[in-house]
Chains A and B, each alone.
Chain A
Amino acid sequence: MEQQGIAVKERGRSATVSTPRTAMVRIEQLHKCFGDLEVLRGVDLTVDSGEVVCIIGPSGSGKTTLLRCINFLESYQAGRIYLDGALVGYRERHGKLVPAREQEIARLRAETSMVFQGFNLFPHMTALRNVAFGPIKVRKTPTAQAVVRAQELLGRVGLADKASSYPAQLSGGQQQRVAIARALAMEPKVMLFDEVTSALDPELVGEVLAVMEQLAASHGVTMIVVTHEMLFAREAADRVIFMDHGVVVEQGPPDQLFDHPKSDRLQAFLRRFRAI
């Protein structure tokens, strides 16, 4: 918010530049280490409200870690992440980062639903309960209302008839679709997708991607998608980010990035993909 204020003051230029979208996620010079290993080495990234961003890159490039920093499943050592203007995971005191209280972190996380590679559905709850659980326990939505909404969302991902099934009774693709419904139920500001099709049998990938494409096309949901599905990135993304060795190497609209990659590293990465 502060930044917007500054932008306006800049000789009234903001009046001429049309900016219908506002930054939903703003990442500045993010650094993250696991022990001696520096996984993120100064990542800068801004994602606008309603934007669909795909992050691609070789394994070990820091994509997943970056995603997990955004909802503070991972802490970070330097830099800043802002979610809708609020600093994630820390409070700033005299220019230094002080860990935020658990309640504040939880509140921020409730605004950023994540869908995981391994689904991570709660095995002791039915599909319906999985979806309704967050709203009931976190949003304090009345149970009856949350259940109706959960049923609706299960319908939206094509699983209306599986409401009373337990995760173990569902296929991987079905589980992941329930997980997407669970994330949607929180009505988050940002949805984070962490290689959500990587653990699926090839024939089940399509049904999950179809749900995500439909979501992406609906606009309104801000999505950050870490993926190896290049076709999905090309079709669904507004912007594609290429990461390597803990930094953003190149970014732009999908056509530009896939058809006219500028950096050597992206060219090499795409060549490897096409070779397959």
Chain B
Amino acid sequence: MQTVFENFDLLLRGLRITIALAAVTILIGTILGVLGGVGLLYGPLLIRLPLRVYSDIVRGTPLLVQIFVIYYGLPALDVQINGFRAATVALALFAGAHVSEVVRGAVGAVPRGQSDAAKSLGLTFWPRLRYVVLPQAVPLILPPWVNTAVEMVKGTSLVVLVSVSDLLFATRKVAERTGDPMPIYITAALIYFFVNFGISRFGFWLERRFRFAVAS
């Protein structure tokens, strides 16, 4: 137990990297996902097809493989990239693909009559999406989006394999140095859990906020 206290600031430093990585990739992934989901639903073939390929490949291959492909693949193409950036790109693309499907499903589930009504008022595509369709899709997007966010936090632990000093990296270092892995790994697990627990709670709060009036 003492080893945990002695090395706690090391873990916190790792946690900072983990949280930064997760936050940035969830944010980018969400933006990519909204654009991707809308493109998958409404885009012309020339947009839809590449998005379909992107989404299927990314969702159909292990995240670790994707991280490696970017980390080892880009330098082979003479693009220099460090571990942190490679991990960020890979995780963001991963999140983007998953959120794309979530958005596609949710936006597609908004009844067609809603678009019809918005069209017949004279709204063009983007305002229709912005004011009528997306607000109704948000309550449907949120639960699976929270899921994806939680997966992303856990997914960041893979970046130790491209030498990013995240929470797991710090944990492993402390465990190796002290020769007493159990307490430190349990502590790390708890930290991951509480971060994700926070995200889930935040998700519930958002869901409540975005749930519009139901029959009273």
Residues in A lying within 8 Å of B, measured CB to CB:
71, 73, 102-103, 106-114, 116, 118, 120-124, 133-134, 137-138, 165-166, 168-169, 182, 186, 192
Q: Are A106 and B113 in contact (CB under 8 A)?
A: no
Bound together, the chains give a CA A138 to CA B136 distance in angstroms of 20
Bound together, the chains give a CA A134 to CA B135 distance in angstroms of 16
Q: Are B124 and A120 in contact (CB under 8 A)?
A: no
Contacts of B182 in A (CB 8 A): none
Closest to B117 in A: A120
Contacts of A120 in B (CB 8 A): 111, 113-114, 116-117
Q: Are A169 and B215 in contact (CB under 8 A)?
A: yes
Q: Are B124 and A118 in contact (CB under 8 A)?
A: no
- Asked whether any CB of chain A lies closer than 8 Å to the CB of B127, the reply is yes
Residues in B lying within 8 Å of A, measured CB to CB:
111, 113-114, 116-125, 127, 131-132, 135-136, 212-216
Q: Are B124 and A106 in contact (CB under 8 A)?
A: yes
Within the complex, what minimum Cβ distance (angstroms) separates A146 from chain B? 12
Bound together, the chains give a CA A73 to CA B116 distance in angstroms of 7
Bound together, the chains give a CA A73 to CA B121 distance in angstroms of 11
Contacts of A102 in B (CB 8 A): 124-125
Closest to B110 in A: A123
Bound together, the chains give a CA A109 to CA B123 distance in angstroms of 8
From the candidates A118, A123, A134, name the one contacting B121 in the complex (CB within 8 A).
A134
Contacts of B135 in A (CB 8 A): 124
From the candidates B113, B120, B122, B125, name the one contacting A118 in the complex (CB within 8 A).
B113
A-B contacts, 9 of them at CB < 8 A, read A71-B119, A73-B120, A102-B124, A114-B117, A124-B136, A133-B131, A134-B122, A137-B131, A138-B121
Bound together, the chains give a CA A273 to CA B30 distance in angstroms of 55
A-B pairs with the 7 shortest C-beta distances?
A: A110-B122, A166-B213, A120-B117, A134-B121, A120-B113, A114-B120, A124-B212
On whether A137 and B120 interact (CB within 8 A), knowing A122-B114, A168-B215, A169-B216, the answer reads: no
Q: Are A138 and B216 in contact (CB under 8 A)?
A: no
Bound together, the chains give a CA A112 to CA B120 distance in angstroms of 7
Closest to A110 in B: B122
On whether A137 and B213 interact (CB within 8 A), knowing A109-B120, A109-B122, the answer reads: no
Q: Are A109 and B119 in contact (CB under 8 A)?
A: yes
Bound together, the chains give a CA A103 to CA B124 distance in angstroms of 7
Within the complex, what minimum Cβ distance (angstroms) separates B34 from chain A? 18
Contacts of B111 in A (CB 8 A): 118, 120
Contacts of A134 in B (CB 8 A): 121-123
Q: Are A137 and B123 in contact (CB under 8 A)?
A: yes
Contacts of B132 in A (CB 8 A): 122
